[in-house]
Amino acid sequence: MPKSFHPPPSKGDFVIYETIISAIYAATKQITITTPTLFPDEPLLMALTVAAKRGVKVTLILPAKVDSLMVRYALTRLLPYVAGS
């Protein structure tokens, strides 16, 4: 089975990522994220969790069904962690 290859992020990708993290930390009322797949790393999970704990309404809009076993596994591992925030 071939393995997927992901090239390292460019400098521009880091700027976008850091901007998203900063926006999450700066949010005061609500955060809504819509994505077909969500593979958050520790900094993103921490930012979302901290936001939720300080009273920001955090909404993740994800598909009800996914066609990828890997995405399904990742979401089932993520949801209990986020739902408890």
Give the model confidence (pLDDT) of 25-64 as tens digits.
999 999 999 888 777 788 988 999 999 999 999 998 877 7
pLDDT confidence band for 2 (50 / 70 / 90) = very low
Q: Phi and psi for 57 in degrees, rounded to 5?
A: -75, 115
What is the SS3 assignment for 78? helix
Q: Name residues whose C-beta falls within 8 Å of residue 81's C-beta, 6 or more positions apart in sequence.
A: 45
Write the pLDDT tens digit of every residue in 28-38.
999 999 888 77
> How far from each other are the two terminal CA atoms of the chain, in whole angstroms?
37
Residue 78 is encoded by which pair of tokens? 């993520």
